[in-house]
Amino acid sequence: MKTATTQGTWWWSAGGNASDRSSWTRGRVLAALAALTSLLLAFHRQVPNTPGHLGSLLESFLPWSGLVIVVLLGLALLRRSAVALVTLLLPVAAWTYLFGGLLLPGAKSGAHDLVVVQHNVSDENTDPAGTARSLADAEPDLIGLEELVPASLPVYERTLAPRYRHHAVVGTVGLWSKHPLTDVQKLDIKPAGITEPWSRGLRAVVRAQHRETAVYVVHLPSVRVTASGLASSRRDESAGLLGKALAAEKSKTVILLGDLNSTADDRGLAPLNSQMNVPTRGFAFSYPAAFPLARIDQIMARSATVGHIRTLPATGSDHLPVTARITLG
């Protein structure tokens, strides 16, 4: 009769010998990778941003580290490695601490809520009317749009007018509202290195729920992932200018809608997320629309809570629209 000490134990490797290798010595490389993953999750802010903005690049895709954990788990089970499985508890705990809350259901709506939609409609959108109807069908109070071009702007204005009597457009960004808008201003967030005409920010005051709320609609410069890292200097400069404007904003309650070309975890948005609340529920990866990898379309607020954020059905844009309910403070 064969005993557990020769072949029956689950941990013995196929074709191996229990006296040669045990589950606690097998899979040390996997255990090391699990430990490294946990360190990157726990101390991602300590990853240097030079050269190539590597810290920002890591933070842009940090939620996807969960897939790394799943792969390591599968390999640990295949190798029957106890040491790897135990070590994997570290990155699992770190990932859960950072992102587990986003998986929880959103809170019930309250009496002072505003539903908002943020969407980069794309300057190459061939169906602006369909895009406008799709956004309006979500019945938000506010719609922030970017990449509005002269050829399509009249279509958005005409299509949204029946349900959104109030709107403001500055350059290539616009705000549509069910509530009155006042004090519309151009927001200067243009990086010094851009010499051509460039206007991607507006600020307006919305009168809703018996209070005035400052609403910003912005489109920060694009970034590129290159062989040398993340090219985000202009985006970071523009975020700094926007952060100064928000810090100087006199209105207590502020809502920020925009294509920030960055995730909420990216340190490049520190001038913004250090003074604004970000969504507490939902991932809502919005870009690229064909296979969303990151949420670079953001909804943030000050003196208000951004609830569950989610994507809306695809439009003619290369971005997905995102929507959230904001509870005013």
Read off the pLDDT of residues 145-188 as tens digits, 9 standing for 90 and up. Answer: 999 999 999 999 999 999 999 999 999 999 999 999 999 999 99
For 71-86, the pLDDT digits (tens) are 999 999 999 999 999 9
How is 279-314 classified by DSSP, letter by letter? -SB-----BSTTS--B--EEEEEESEEEEEEEEPPP
Distance CA 220, CA 144 (A): 14
Q: What residues are paired with 116 via a beta bridge?
A: 142, 324
pLDDT recorded at residue 108: 67
| Residues paired with 277 in a beta bridge | 301
Structure tokens at 44: 């991602």
Least Cα distance to 273 among 290, 256, 287, 288 occurs for 256
∠ CA 163-165-167, nearest 5°, is 115
**pTM score, two decimals?**
0.88
Structural domains of the chain, with CATH:
13-103 (no CATH), 113-328 (3.60.10.10)
Closest of 32, 31, 38 to residue 92, by C-alpha: 38
| pLDDT attached to residue 109 | 63
Tens of pLDDT, residue by residue over 102-139, are 998 876 666 668 999 999 999 999 999 999 999 999 99
Q: Which of 299, 244, 253, 298 is nearest to 271 (CA)?
A: 244
CA distance 59 to 91: 15
Question: pLDDT at residue 234 above 50?
Answer: yes
- pLDDT of res. 11: 46
Poorest-confidence range of 6-10, 27-31, 77-81, 112-116?
6-10
Q: Dihedral sign for Cα 26, 28, 33, 37, please.
A: positive
- Give start and end residues of each alpha helix (H) in the chain: 28-42, 54-60, 65-79, 82-87, 89-99, 128-137, 153-160, 233-248, 270-273
CB atoms within 10 A of CB 35: 15
How sure is the predictor about 17, in pLDDT bands with cuts at 50, 70 and 90? low
Residue 318 DSSP SS3: coil
pLDDT in tens, 183-219: 999 999 999 989 999 999 999 999 998 899 999 999 9
- Per the CB < 8 A criterion, the answer to whether 178 and 164 are in contact is yes
